[in-house]
Every structure is written in C-alpha cells, then in structure tokens.
Amino acid sequence: MSAPRLSVVVPTLNQAQFIGQTLDSIIALGYLRTEIIVIDGGSTDGTGDVVRGFGDAIAHFVSEPDKGQADAINKGFRRATGDLLAWLNSDDYYLPNAFEEVAALLGDGSEARLAYGGTIARTEATGEDRLWPAPPFDREALKSRALIYQPSAFWTRALWEKTGELNIAQHFTLDWDWFLRASAHCEFQRIEAPLSVYRFHDAHKTGSGSPRRNEEICAFVEQNAGAEWGAAFRDVAAQLHKLGPGLERLKRLGLFRLRTLFYRSLYKQHGGKVKVALSQLRV
C-alpha cells in the first residue's frame, strides 16, 4: 500500500521576496508524495515568476483575483488530491523534518485527526527569534485563545470534509475559527517542538493591529466563549493604545507585578480575562 499523499496549499499575494523560501521548505520536507498548490490572488510583484521557476515541483498554480485569503485556501483544497492536508502562508516556512514529526500521528488520512507543533516567531525588522512551544490542547480554551499555530498544523482529509471549508467572511480569525470547528470532531495531537517559522514583517496581516482585526477577534470570542469574555476583549481593545505601552513601561521598571493596581478598574471587572485578551489582541 502506498504512503498517503500530502497536499500543501500556499495562498499568496505580492510575496515575491518570501515565497521562494516557503516553497523550498515544503520540498525540503523530503516527503516523496507531496503535492504543492499555489493560489495567487493576482500578484504584480513577480511572485508568478518565482513560482514558475520551481517547474514541475508545483502541481497547480493559478493567479487570479479572489475574495481574500480564505477564498484562496478553499480554492486550493478543492484542487487537492492528498490524504493529508495543510496550508502554508507564503511568508512562513517549514523547519527541516517538520512533517516527520506529525506523519505518524495522522495515519492514512481516513480518520479525523489533526497534529500540531510549536513555531519560531521571527521578527524581520530586528532579527529576533522567539520560541513558541505548542500549548496543550484544550477545546474550551480554544474558544478564547488561538492555541494552534497555523503553519505548524497538519490534518487529514477526513477532518477537512467533516469540518467544511474556511469562512470567507473572516479575514483575521479564519484559521482560529476552522480549528475550533474541527475540534468538535477529534482530539488534536500535540508535538511541543517547533515545526515552522512564523514571520512578522511590515506587510504581515496578523501583526497589523488594525481596528478591523480587533473587532473581528472580539466578535469571534463573544460568539464562541460568551458575553463575559466578549466584554473583556472589547474593554481591552478599547484601551489597547495606552494599555500595551503602559504594561511595557511597567516591565522595564520592574513593576509589572503592580499592573492590577495601575489598571485597577479593568482587572477588577474582568480578572484573568484581561491577560488572555491582551495575548490575543497584541502581537
């Protein structure tokens, strides 16, 4: 019996400076039955030339306008023929041997399974790397915390088919929403070690800190974790412009333990939810 096929969808838009490393990292996984599908939203920066330079290593490449990242990923998975699935954004990349760590946990793809690992958060401007180990799986916590690092997650076709496609109305919580829906069908399997590099740069969508992003996160948490959690997130989001710098200042002064005194009303009202909200709204 042949080994299961791995399909990796790469959504991209104007990421010519990064996508070559992304594609190289998929090929470097060394898994012979790998299908790479690149869905480009109509780049104008030479992304297409980079992709075409990989020749037959790319199973499918299309460049056309779409309705956003979720739409592009859905298009890719409709084309995918793999038993095991993943998507990798075109500014992230896998670490060597990443797939070896999870393949044994996924089986042949016929059962609903998902395996995930940690990631290395890389800030391009400073060259700083931070290790983010994979947290333990907790479905209840997943309602208020994005616990799964998307570039370090792999799953089976059976799970994708049971869960359904990404919600194209979501632009910032699309992966978080899908993981939460998928968690209704199986327990996720954790590998604490990092499997990918998650890159932050000037054009990085998640790191934009925009009001639109914060509103989408607050609405998502309110819908899934409940009104109290939603209120905590909204109150933190409303004060984020001063709360974030204020907490950083307390850290520098060695006074972080006094944060509940400096922001007494917020912590009194929401308690530990403040810390969670800060971790999700700040990047």
Collect all residues with Cβ–Cβ distance below 8 Å to 142 and sequence separation of at least 6. 148, 176, 179, 180, 183
pLDDT of residue 124: 85
Closest CA to 163 of 129, 191, 188, 127: 188
82 vs 243: CA distance, rounded Å: 45
Can you name the residues that pair with 10 across neighbouring β-strands? 38
List strand residue ranges (DSSP E) for the chain, in order: 6-12, 34-40, 60-63, 84-87, 93-94, 114-123, 128-132, 153-156, 189-200
151 vs 71: CA distance, rounded Å: 18
Backbone angles phi, psi at 236, to 5 degrees: -65, -40
pLDDT of residue 207: 47
pLDDT tens across the length of the chain (283 residues): 689 999 999 999 999 999 999 999 999 999 989 999 999 999 999 999 999 999 999 999 999 999 999 999 999 999 999 999 999 999 999 999 899 889 999 999 999 999 999 999 999 888 899 999 999 999 999 999 999 999 999 999 999 999 999 999 999 999 999 999 999 999 999 998 999 999 997 765 554 458 999 999 999 999 999 999 999 999 999 988 777 677 777 677 776 665 665 577 888 899 889 889 988 997 5
Three-state DSSP class for residue 101: helix
In one-letter notation, the amino acid at residue 200 is F
What pTM does this model have? 0.92
Q: Report domain extents, the chain.
A: 6-207, 209-281
In one-letter notation, the amino acid at residue 274 is V
pLDDT of residue 257: 67
pLDDT of residue 259: 67
Given the structure tokens 């059962």, which residue do they identify?
A: 111
Produce one character per residue of 88-112: b if its CB has 16 or more CB atoms within 10 Å, e if not.
bbbbbbbbeebbebbbebbeebeeb
pLDDT of residue 264: 75
pLDDT of residue 208: 47
Considering the four listed CATH numbers 3.40.50.720, 2.60.40.420, 3.90.550.10, 3.40.50.180, the one that applies to the domain covering 6-207 is 3.90.550.10
Collect all residues with Cβ–Cβ distance below 8 Å to 78 and sequence separation of at least 6. none
Can you name the residues that pair with 35 across neighbouring β-strands? 7
151: number of Cβ within 10 Å: 27
Query: Counting runs of H as helices and runs of E as strands, what totals does the chain give?
Result: 12, 9
Instruction: Calculate the CA 108 to chain-centre distance.
Output: 24
Can you name the residues that pair with 118 across neighbouring β-strands? 194
pLDDT of residue 267: 83
